Structure formats: C-alpha cells, structure tokens
Structure 1
Amino acid sequence: MSSKLQLAPYAADPFNSLGRRHQTDDSATRNEFQRDRDRIIHSNAFRRLKHKTQVFLHHEGNHYRTRLTHTLEVAQIARSIARALNLCEDLAEALALAHDLGHTPFGHAGERVLHDKMHDLGGFDHNIQALRLVTRLENRYAEHDGLNLTWETLEGIIKHNGPLMDGEGNPTAKYQKEGLPGGLDEPWAIADLRYDSYASLEAQAAAIADDIAYNAHDIDDALRAGLLTLEELRDVPLVGPIVQEVQNKYPLVDEDRQTHEVVRRLLTRTIEDVITDAKARLKAANIQTVEDVRQANQTLIGFSQDMAKAEKGLKSFLFEKVYRHKSVMDEVDRAQTIVAKLFDAYLDGEDLPGEWKERAKVIEKNKMPRLVADFIAGMTDPYATSQYNRLFDADEDFR
C-alpha cells in the first residue's frame, strides 16, 4: 500500500514501521497496522473474549460487559482520542483490540491464581501472556508461529501499563515488590522492545481508553445489577456532579434513561479531558518526533491533574462498593477454586486435550507449569467450568 497518511510528526507511521520478525509480502490495500488489527480480530484468542468475564460473571445477563464488548468499547475510545490528536488510528485500534488477549477466565480472579501458582517461575502477567499469544500460541499460519505482528504493536502490548524498567534496568513501581515477570528476555520482536522507554502515543491512547471505558461501564453494569443506585453516586468524585446534573435536568425520566445519560456524559467528559490535557503536555514537552515520545520520561496522554484526582476517588468507591461486594466476591471465590484445582490437576498428570497433550510429551518437565498456565489462560469461563465439573464430578454453573 503506497498512499501516505496525514499524521502528526510524533505519530507512529505504518510506512516507517520497524517491521515483523517474519518477512511478508506488501498489501495492496492495507497498511501494516491495519494488517495487525485484522490479524488480531481473526485470532482464536480474540473470539474467546466473548466468553471471558469483565467484572460480573456472564450468568448475570446478556446486557453486561464481557471482555469482548469491553474491548470493542476501548477500541472506539482509543480511535476517538487518536483522531483528535492526529495520531495513527489504526495502531491505536489494534492495540486496544489486543490489550485483553492475555486475560484468564474469570477476570482478575483467574490471573491472581495463576500468578500465585507460577510465583517461583516468573509469575503470570496478562500483558506478557498477550505477547505469548500473539507470538507463540496462535498457531494458524503455515510459515511461522504467532500472528507475526509489527514491532510497534508488540511494543504497545507489553507496555500497556507503561515502561517495565528504568534506564538502569530497575523495575518500575508496579514490579518493585516482586520483581520483573519472567519471559522478558525472549526475542519477541524483530528488534529490542526497549522495556525502559515509554510506548507510542497510540499505545498511551489505548491505555487511557481502557481506564475510561471500564470506569463508565462498570458503573453502568453495577446500576443494572442493583449493586448501586444513582442516589449513592451523587457524592462520589467525578461521577457525582454528573448524576446531580442529570437528575436535575430530567427528574421525571426513568432511572434506566438517567443512567444512560450519566454514562454517556462521563465518557464524553473524560475523553475530552484527556484530549485537551494531551495537547497541553505535548506542547509543554516540545514533542516533535516518535523518539521524543519514548524519551519523554512521562506519560503524555492521560487525565488532567484534577481529573486524575477525581478518577482515583471514583476507583476507590467502585472497589469498595462493587468489586468487593459480597455477591461479586462469592463468585470470585468459586472461580478461584476452579482455576486453582484445574492447574493442580493438569500439573499432576491429568491429560491435556488435543495439541496440548502433544506439546506436553516433548517439553522439559520444568516447563510443564508454563504450558499448563498457557492452556488455562486461554480457557473461556464456560470451558473452564465444564472441565472442572468433568474432572471433579462437580456441578458448578455460572449461567
């Protein structure tokens, strides 16, 4: 594809990509980041997101978010931010679509179990697991393992939460307690992924879009599930003033419509805050090139200072009132039991199905835990439940 895009000078340019580990023919109709997006969408891992938990387990109802619907919402927001900042929408979208590929069944509950089980072997990190999926485990191409994505997409996946280390090689704040996760020394991409630098602006747009989406939509789902009421939200940071505004303007409208008005206003205001603040940060830091972005020593796309403070207050409220609600925690406990017992059973010699059984026959014994973790991480909620019921003669049912 030969036509150039009209991008800001600090945007990621698909025509200047560092490329892929395995050489491919050029596409006559798509740029390199569009090809990455399409490969992600057509992967098995992406389809499985339909049956993976976001916050509430899938039995709650058809209108609640799954990992797939959440991912699509993140992609829409990421594109909106990228468009407003004259960035590459295609890379932002590809990274948004890939950002949850490494998540386990049952949301963060499953991830906590696998991290505990793998603690002495590098732990389990869903961003690294996403890299494993797109570079190793998605095996459908005749000429190579994985999806053979560009360097820029792989970089954005592993740095979804920012740099992993500083310039001296020390872990960043997220990893200071337990150290860097295992697997970072593997040759994932055509070139060094530079774990000590910041990711592209497109990756930063996808990351903040993730926060924007789950804040707004966890509120929506919590209200639908009856875990919250609009009245409880009136004094909560960030969302409270919006609830008051909507109730004052539409006092006779039913609560479902009021909820929608609150959620859409929350989305709009947080997105617009990010765009406005990003423009100011880019100007203040005198960002001129893609390399300037990576060496900026700061995140350039995020909430303004006031919005960040309010958003932190909202998160604290949601953590206490929603994520730790008894009805949610009861399901989390059940889910963690399923994942833990499945891991132990497969590691103790329970047969893995199909190709996984063949892989188990040829790997070294000390690599078996990672194989089991890979297998379980790829499960959907219903498949994990059915395997648990089969192996333990149980009758768990989250539907």
Structure 2
Amino acid sequence: MLGQWLALGALVGVVCGVASAAFLWLLEEATRLREANGGLVYALPLAGWVLGAVYARWGGPVRGGNNLVLETVHTGDAQVPLRMAPMVLVGTVLTHLFGGSAGREGTAVQMGGSLADWVAHRFRAGADLRRELLAAGIAGGFGSVFGTPVAGAVFGLEVVVVGRLGYEALLPALVASVVGDVVTRGLGIQHTVYPVPGALPLSVTVIGKWLVFAVGVAAVAVVFVEGLHRLKAGMEKRVPWLPLRMAMGGTAVVMLWLWVGTDAYLGLGVPGIVRAFEDPGLPVSVFAWKLAFTVVTLGTGFLGGEVTPLFFIGASLGNVLARMLGLPVDLGAAVGMAALFAAAANTPLALSIMAVELVGAGVLPHVMIVSTVAYVLTGHRGIYPAQRIGRRKDGGPVLGRWVPLRELESTVPGPITARPGDGGPGGQGDQGSG
C-alpha cells in the first residue's frame, strides 16, 4: 500500500502540476491582454452567453464544480468527467480575459479532482483508494496553483468533512501536493511574493484585539457565503436558462465597473492584495466593492474560484480592522487574507499553514487565533455546500451520519437541524472519506 500511495500520489501530482502550470500561464496572458485592451470588459455579457450555452449543452455534471468533486469523495458515484479539466480551464481563463472577478482555486481543485479520478479508474483503484486519490487530486491542484504544498495537502484532507481530518489520505495528498508544486515551479511558473509582516508578540491586549478582529472577519464571511448562495439560488429560480443568466451577470459586472471607474476589482486582483499590506490610507470601501464584484460574477455562473477574491477582500478588510484596533497594517492584511477564506471554507488549519507558507512563521499564532474563532462564529455554512459535517462546531455529540451543509438550517453558531432526507454516507460516517 505504501508503494501504491507513493506512486499514484506522485502521478496525480505530476498531472496536477502540469495542468496548473498551463492554467496559470494562460491566466497571466489573459490578464495582460485585458489590461492592455480595457474594452474587452464590455464583451463580458457576450462571453457569459457563449460560456453558458456551451455549459448548458455539454456541461452536464461538470456544472457541479467543486461540489461534484466533494460529492464523489463521499458517495463514490460515477467518475468525475475527464472533460471537467479542459472545460473549467478554458471557462475560467475566458472569465478573467473579459474581467470577471473570480479566483483560481476552484479551477485547480476541479482539474485536480478530474485528473485524479481518471488516474484512479485507469489503475482500477478500489473504492477506498479512489477516495484517497480524489483527496490527493484536491491537494495537488490547490498546492500547485498557489505554491503552498503543505497547505495544499492539509486542505485536501480538511475540506471534505467539516471538523475532521482524513488522515488515511495524508500520504498520497502530501505527495501529490509536493510533486505538483515542484512540477509547476519547474515549468517556469513564479508565484506572487507577498510582503512579510514584522513580528508582534502576543499579549492579553493583542489577543483581545484579535478576538474583535475575528468577529469582523466572521461577519464578512457570512455576508459573502449567504450573498453568493442566495444570488445563485434566486437567479436559477428566476432565470433558469444558463446563457441568459450569465449574460445578465456579465452586464451587472460591467455596470459595477463603470460605476466605480477602476479596473482594481476585475479578475484576480493580486495588486489589490499587495496594496492592502502597504497602504495605511486604503479606502474602507475597497473590500465591499471586491465582495460585490465577486458575488455577482460567481453567483450568476461564471467560472473560477473564491480563494484569491477572498484574499483580496480579507486583506483589505484586515487593513481596515488593523487600523481601527491599533494593530500593524501588514500583519492585519496577512491575517485577514487567510482567515476570511478559512471561515468561508471551514478550513482554519489549512489556511493558517498557508499564511505561514506565504508570509512567514511570524504570522502563525495570530492567524490561528483569528481563523479558529471566525470559523466557529460563521456557523454551519460555507462556500462548498457539499461539505459534510458530523459534529457541531461548538461541541455536542457526534451526529448519527454526516450531513451536507446544504441540508442544514443553522444560526450562528446555533444548533444543527437537518431537513428530512439528510444525505451523507448513512451510518458509514467515518469510513474512508479522505
């Protein structure tokens, strides 16, 4: 089994690394082209119409995105379609080319899951090994696209079930993430280098400030998650035809762009993240504008992920909160950047490690405190409705079965009340979710 994990984990890492390298290169080229030709943004509604037509005709289950990958980990249903990898890659690049506010983690996870499941079927892996390789695919995609191999491995284990790490998949996930990162870098991809905050010793006063900071992060995470899900559900109900829905979303993004009069909120927004580390006069409204652009883009069906936009929102929010609380601006930006996604994705451990890989070990105690508190305060919700939960965040008995987040009715932090027909693997809760 050890040799099998090493060999297949490495193979998954190689295919994820190559896919991430191609994706990141195309994404950079698309961003450069848009920045050099600002008029391309006006074509976003048309791009939405075309992408919507393609996905409506040939997308099928691929439209499930990250949730399809997570559902497959849990249920072991039919293979994640191999066509997911090229379709989501092209769709995300086009979203960025025309100015949609989206990230890259969703694409990386979906490509990784699709390619890992192809490897699993190719080698006739059993059900347990297949789930472990899917977790490895998530890890390999995440770790290679951000250049954070340790965080990628932990994310692949932590994102599947809220509050539980699937250690049975640790070795293949770590191998896939490390190999994927090495391959991506070896193909010439250079990741963003963020400013390294200065050290700040913990004290009772500092901890108290971080607790207030965490409340602000949790509140924005709830607004983002609820806004995204409610817009998506409302649009699907009122505008069931995907091409029209995406065209309307593209039009709304163009209107927002014209309203604010800046390109800062289009695409990934990496310069905005770096600015949040350095600008003590950053406008308070910056994080809210990026949130609005991203919710509209993703909520109406455009492709991409949430991580980098949430990094932008979290870093700019952290900048503002740090100034209000008398904390260093660069440290506040670093903590907010990681903690907001940790709260929204229910992955506080992975994102705390990711912060260390991105900005250095000095951030660790601070980001861990804020990520954990914000994770609890957001309640039983998240950007991935297919995540399962087997125990309340605030304690209590283990549930009889894992319940998908989408089937919960929850307050913050509130009791769990599952609707009739709750999903999950029935009474087989702890078996091999990876």
User: TM-score of the superposition, structure 2-length normalised?
Assistant: 0.28
User: TM-score of the superposition, structure 1-length normalised?
Assistant: 0.30
Determine which structure has the larger helix proportion and give its number.
2
